[in-house]
Amino acid sequence: DTGVSQNPRHKITKRGQNVTFRCDPISEHNRLYWYRQTLGQGPEFLTYFQNEAQLEKSRLLSDRFSAERPKGSFSTLEIQRTEQGDSAMYLCASSPGSFHTEAFFGQGTRLTVV
Amino acid sequence: AQTVTQSQPEMSVQEAETVTLSCTYDTSESDYYLFWYKQPPSRQMILVIRQEAYKQQNATENRFSVNFQKAAKSFSLKISDSQLGDAAMYFCAYRSANQGGSEKLVFGKGTKLTVNP
């Protein structure tokens, strides 16, 4: 499968724990995006990378959230000291470059904080 | 900031009939892209159709077409000959086309489409 891959697909964690999600974009896509989708809402932008450079971060990305793309390939999204309000679907998308407007999405990681 | 509004939380259509999903947006930019994405249950979001704001001609992709009204900031999706596989959440989305501008997608809240056999 050459699509965007996200792991894990589901994560249940206790409040206060740290969690990390991984996204593997389509090969040679230099743009990688993270979105958060809560129930009944559309996806909300969190951050995006051009290769390893983080170009934009949303105000939604509090200091408990950090994202990295160390070698310009896969990316990780870490949430520290999780709160119940962090429960959501975390979506990753990639695209070949700025002139390619189509974003290819992964199936997401569903986080439940109990 | 740009906003996207989808005023129809749910819509239903009979198989083989036509349905139109509404979307309005707000922006002060003159150059941008608009999209309709489909999100089937438990599956990834896929692009249905894309419109460049500088193009007056409405985009079409097989059974899917849009009615883009730039002055009214309206961007509706028409699905013709609806099929059971069209059942999904549909999201309208906006992206700036300004050079050096944000590449983020701004989504509406979505419309859940049910196709009745």
pLDDT in tens, A32-44: 999 999 998 999 9
Band (B43; pLDDT cuts 50, 70, 90): confident
Q: Is A85 helix (H, G, I), strand (E, B) or coil?
A: helix
Does A1 have pLDDT greater than 70?
no
**CB-CB: which of A31, A42, A102 is closest to B50?**
A102
Q: Could you tell me if A31 and A49 are in contact, meaning their C-beta atoms sit under 8 angstroms apart?
A: yes
**Side chain identity at residue B96, one-letter code:** S
Nearest CA in chain A to B90: A42
Count of helix runs (H) and strand runs (E) in chain A: 0, 11
CA-based nearest residue in chain A for residue B108? A42
Pick the residue from chain B with its C-alpha nearest to A34. B104
Q: Write the burial class of residue A80 (CB in 10 Å: 0-12 exposed, 13-18 middle, 19+ buried).
A: middle
Cβ of A56 within 8 Å of Cβ of B43? The answer is no
Q: What confidence tens digit (pLDDT) does each residue in A64-79 have?
A: 999 999 988 999 999 9
> Which tokens go with A20?
């990390």
Contact A103 B106 (CB under 8 A): no
